[in-house]
Structure 1
Amino acid sequence: MARPSTQTIDPALDAAALLRRVGFFGLFVILPVVAQVARRATVILAPISVALLILASAIDGRQRPLRASGVRLLRAPAFLAGLLVLAWMALSLVWTPFPGPASERFANLVATILLTLAGYMALPDRMRSANLYLLPLGVTAAAIVAIMLGLFGDSLMRGVPDDDNALDRGLTLLALLVWPAVAWLRSRRRDREALGLAVVVAVALAVSPDLGQIAALAIGALAFAVTSFRPRLGVGLTAGIAAGLLAVAPLLPFLARPVGAALFGPLSPGVLTLKSWQRIVTTEPVRLITGHGFETALRGRVFGLIPVNAPSTALFAMWYELGVVGALAAAFALYASVRRAGLDVPLLVPGAMAGFAAAFTIACIGVGLTVVWWLTTLAITILVFVAIERGQFRTRRPKVSRLKLPPLGEPPTP
């Protein structure tokens, strides 16, 4: 007679597994696809997906110990430098000319950071491969949707309310998520699938050409290639160039303007933007120390405090709003983050460097400092990289060749 199974079925664990699968499906598949057609998809769907992951971890407790994770973060130089940037932002609310909107934007920034930390704490210590394979699936599906919209957008979206910048934001998310997806496939020894995924994303960006996204993909690919062949060189170049540009940003218009004028003419839009930036630096040099206060780079252009053609990049906004204290703290945080990522799982380092390079390129070309959808996109990318890093574990088993076979009746000895 067969014995009844003694395995106990826990409905709570099954519910947690289902919630986690739905959360990852929303984060890895639904969000990238819907972001191609809805401009607020990132802001709406990301918190819902992260909330499901938090609820799943609260049920089954599969996340890393919260106290140990918190202590590890508080000991990280990059995290401490980021806290300094956040504290300086809060202090700058005292002298910003727009205290009301700045306080609201600062609250949104803090909420996004807390959501990211909560998602980081809620991720399981060991990720299931079945959940992580949803990532390349979602990126591929989003790329196909972007290609269809780029080729047949007018006919496909006929009768649908116009949603400005939806595809642009979706492609930006795609240009970032392709790197953790490629890194995950390479870590599973699926190099051909990784190459095919990168090609599909490149086609999606080429069909709807945008300078920022194409440049981000190209520079990310360059960082990926360099780091793959020379890991230490790739990590050093990515960290040094990104942090260095942020640290010396006020000098860039003085260096780049003569070159731009010689190549494109003194009246080209880019050269005039650099001239405007140069005039801002020389007019109020003392403000380079304290900055003009949070939220002034965006609203100052609207209210005539700065020229309309002033740069809209994160490099300009960081120095104009937070001055030398905030900019140098942010540069150190960026440098330390990149260097720390270079110490993680070697198979994922090229993808991590490509992600850093692509995100920094997009920020330099035209995304504001604290635009909510951009911050949420960065938060999603960070959580995705953490998830695939926690999926890099192996069960080690002893090899038979290392065991000495004893005489019959005695236990084996190593």
Structure 2
Amino acid sequence: MARASTSSVDPASDAAALLRRVGFIGLFVVMPVAAQFARRAVVVLAPIAIALLVLASIVDGKSRPVRPASTRLLRSPAFLAGCLFILWAALSLVWTPFLDLATERLLNLVATLLMTMAGYLALPDRMRSANLYLLPVGLAAAALVAIGLGLTGQGLFGQRLARIGDDEGILDRGLILLVLLVWPAVAWLRSRGRDGEALGLAVLVSLALIVSPGPTTLVALAVGALAFAFTAFRPNQGPRILALVAAALLVLGPVLPFIARPIGAWLFGGRSPGVLSLKAWQAIVTSEPFRLVTGHGFETALRGRYVNLLPMNAPRTLLFELWYELGLVGAFAAAFALHAAIRRAGREASVLVPGAMAAFAAAFLIACVGVGMMVMWWLTTLALAVLVFVAVERGQFRTRRPKASLLRPAGSA
């Protein structure tokens, strides 16, 4: 009588699988839901989830080898341009008037980058579908929570929700996380042939944005949808056009107020807040032309408003703060890095390119409208979006499930 074969038990592999599962639950489910009502959910939960993924990769050894991955990064134009940006920001500490605060912010930025790299190396080369399906489930739950908060808290496009003493709008951060993470979730579902579920998730997130405060996130989602549709229709032209537009806007930052102010005055009147903000931007550009080369130093755009270095109505946008703090070198390095990253995104899996372009477009619009440059929760959110897309890309190793045959092969018992 043949003895039934038993599979050997590997405690280390089982423990690593459990740690990885818990890490992805925290990253894909707990964090999007908690971000809808907890102000620091992203900053607190993201390092914990990534630490669990790193620990799992150490236990079972399924992480990518450090040397080949590091060599690949060092050969990436986007990574090299990003390193130049960091080095210039560090050099600007010499002339920034806020040395202590700028040093702390720079260290936080470097820590966020190191966390992202650790998460990148910890992700297995072949992601399990069961873990990736947690992403749309978590986003759907977060959207339902956001809809409930929006309906019970206030009406359409009203004032910010007042919750737990938060004066910066707790729900806004959660909605921004939804806007960015919905696109990798949609890309994953489409790659599995679940177009109906992808459309349903996009509609659910749209409803969450409609019933919640502020039209900015809804506009960002609409811009992302346009980028998605155009790239799906023109997969070669989509990344090229988006990369060119984003890089051009960063490079032409000092010229933009001279173009936008007359248009804004004609549409909204010369005394509208936006037009006055553009006027302040013009005055800053013309009063210190030499500073367009060096910038005023790291952290000056935010802190300068409170010590009369900047007018209080100075723009809160990436396009202004980048030039004001880091000047020509920082702006060109950021533009080159962004251009290279957009052109490179999703190249190994063409089905993911529309989703990647949608996320890039939505994130760039949010940064330009008013998030600014170096807000830590925003940088952490961007890092998470990158890691999620990497995870979805590594889940594309199998595109078709093998079919079981009804007939036994010849000679089988």
Structure 1, unmatched stretches of 5+, are 400-407, 410-414
- Cα distance in 1 for residues equivalent to 2:196 and 2:4: 46
Q: Deviations over 1:116-161 (max 9, x none)?
A: 000001000000000000000000000000000000137xxx9973
- Cα distance in 2 for residues equivalent to 1:298 and 1:150: 30
**Runs in 1 of length 4+ with deviation above 6 angstroms?**
395-399
Amino acid at match of 2:45: L
Q: CA deviation at 1:61?
A: 1.1
Which residue in 1 is equivalent to 2:25?
A: 25
Which residue in 2 is equivalent to 1:9?
A: 9
- Cα distance in 2 for residues equivalent to 1:185 and 1:395: 12
Pick the aligned partner of 2:275 from 257, 271, 274.
271
Q: CA deviation at 1:211?
A: 2.8
Which residue in 2 is equivalent to 1:318?
A: 322
Q: Deviations over 1:178-227 (max 9, x none)?
A: 10000000000100110010000011001013232112101100000000
- Cα distance in 2 for residues equivalent to 1:380 and 1:79: 17
Q: Deviations over 1:17-69 (max 9, x none)?
A: 00000000000000000000000000000000000000000011112222111
Q: Helix, strand or coil for the counterpart of 2:69?
A: helix
- Cα distance in 2 for residues equivalent to 1:271 and 1:220: 26
- Cα distance in 1 for residues equivalent to 2:250 and 2:402: 50
Which residue in 2 is equivalent to 1:36?
A: 36
Pick the aligned partner of 2:216 from 209, 212, 217.
212
* Number of equivalent positions: 399
Percent identity over paired residues: 69
Q: Helix, strand or coil for the counterpart of 1:93?
A: helix
- Tell me: CA distance 1:396–1:138, structure 2 relative to 1, closer, same or farther (3 Å): closer
- Tell me: CA distance 1:80–1:200, structure 2 relative to 1, closer, same or farther (3 Å): same
Amino acid at match of 1:83: C
Structure 2, unmatched stretches of 5+, are 155-160, 404-409
- Cα distance in 2 for residues equivalent to 1:79 and 1:39: 30
Amino acid at match of 1:296: T
Pick the aligned partner of 2:254 from 230, 247, 250.
250
- Cα distance in 2 for residues equivalent to 1:146 and 1:80: 39
State whether residues 251 and 332 of structure 2, in contact with CA within 8 Å, keep that contact through their aligned partners in structure 1. Answer: yes
State whether residues 235 and 342 of structure 1, in contact with CA within 8 Å, keep that contact through their aligned partners in structure 2. Answer: no
- Tell me: CA distance 1:276–1:24, structure 2 relative to 1, closer, same or farther (3 Å): same
- Cα distance in 2 for residues equivalent to 1:285 and 1:212: 32
- Cα distance in 2 for residues equivalent to 1:318 and 1:4: 66
Amino acid at match of 1:162: G
- Tell me: CA distance 1:305–1:332, structure 2 relative to 1, closer, same or farther (3 Å): same
Pick the aligned partner of 1:162 from 157, 160, 165.
165
State whether residues 346 and 393 of structure 2, in contact with CA within 8 Å, keep that contact through their aligned partners in structure 1. Answer: no
- Tell me: CA distance 1:45–1:265, structure 2 relative to 1, closer, same or farther (3 Å): same
1:303 and 2:302 equivalent? no
Q: Deviations over 1:217-275 (max 9, x none)?
A: 01100000000000111111111111110111110000010011011111111100000
TM-score (norm 1): 0.93
State whether residues 212 and 366 of structure 1, in contact with CA within 8 Å, keep that contact through their aligned partners in structure 2. Answer: no
Which residue in 1 is equivalent to 2:158?
A: none
- Tell me: CA distance 1:293–1:11, structure 2 relative to 1, closer, same or farther (3 Å): same
Q: Helix, strand or coil for the counterpart of 2:297?
A: coil
- Cα distance in 1 for residues equivalent to 2:390 and 2:89: 27
Where in structure 2 are the equivalents of 1:105-254 lying within 5 Å?
Answer: 105-153=105-153, 161-164=164-167, 165-254=169-258
- Cα distance in 2 for residues equivalent to 1:65 and 1:101: 36
